[in-house]
Amino acid sequence: MASIISDYLLVLITLLYSVFTWQMLKANKEMVKESQRNREVEYKPEVILYFDEGHVTNVLNLVVKNIGRGITEDVRIKKISSNIPLDNLSEVNFFNKSIRMLAPQQKIEVFVGMFPELIDENGNFPTMELEVEYRDKFGKTYIDNYVLDSNMYKGIRQIVKKSTHDIAKEMKELNKNIIKIHRSIND
C-alpha cells in the first residue's frame, strides 16, 4: 500500500514538475520575443522631413533626416501635393530614385528657394505633402506622410547672421582701405 501511495505521489510530483517546466519554457520564449521586439524598436530608423530656414536669411531648405538609431535603406520620397511649382526639386535625385542609405542622425538638406520667390499670388509660403517610404536593416518597410508648411516663418523678423564668408569679405574691404590710407600718407 505504501508503495502505491509513493508511486502516485511520484507521478503527481513529476506532473507538477512538467507543468512548471512547460510554463517556464513558455515564459522564456515570450522573453526572447520581447527582447527581439525591443532590439528592433531600439535600432529602428525614423526618417523625418521638414522645412528649415538654413543658415542664410530668407532661404528655405527641405531636410531629410534619420533621427532613429538604426540605418535606413532605400528611402523613397514622393510628392503628393504642393501649392507652388517646385521645378528645381524635380531634379533632386531622391525624388526620382531613392536614397540608398541614411546613417543614424544623417541629414540631407535641399535648397527649395528664396522666400520672396516662393510666395504665391495670395501671399502664402510653400506647403507640401510628401510621403516617405524606407526600410530598416531587417527589411521591414515603413511609410510616413508629412505635411510641410513654411507659413510658420511668415512675419518672423530675423537678425542677419554673419558667416565666415561675410567676415572674409569685410577683411578684404578693410585691407583695401588700409592700402589706400598707406598710399595717401606716403604721397
Residues 21 and 52 in one domain: no
Residues 56 and 13 in one domain: no
What's the CA gap between 135 and 71, in Å, rounded? 9
The verdict on residue 96 lying in a domain is yes
Residues 26 and 76 in one domain: no
Which has the minimum average pLDDT: 21-25, 83-87, 111-115? Answer: 83-87
User: For residue 72, what pLDDT is reported?
Assistant: 93
The one-letter amino acid at 141: T
pLDDT in tens, 93-130: 777 788 999 999 999 998 888 877 888 888 888 888 99
What's the CA gap between 35 and 118, in Å, rounded? 49
User: For residue 112, what pLDDT is reported?
Assistant: 84
User: For residue 36, what pLDDT is reported?
Assistant: 82
β partners of residue 159: none
Which has the minimum average pLDDT: 53-62, 72-81, 94-103? Answer: 53-62
What's the CA gap between 84 and 112, in Å, rounded? 11
Q: Which residues of 25-63 are buried (b: 16+ CB within 10 A; e: fewer)?
A: eeeeeeeeeeeeeeeeeeebbbbebebbbeeeeeebbbe
- Domain, as residue range, for 27: 1-42
Report the domain count for the chain: 2
Residues 1 and 58 in one domain: no
Residues 88 and 127 in one domain: yes
φ and ψ of 118, to 5 deg: -90, -15
CATH code for position 104: 2.60.40
CB–CB of 160/154 below 8 Å? Answer: no
Mean pLDDT taken over the chain? 85
CB–CB of 117/137 below 8 Å? Answer: no
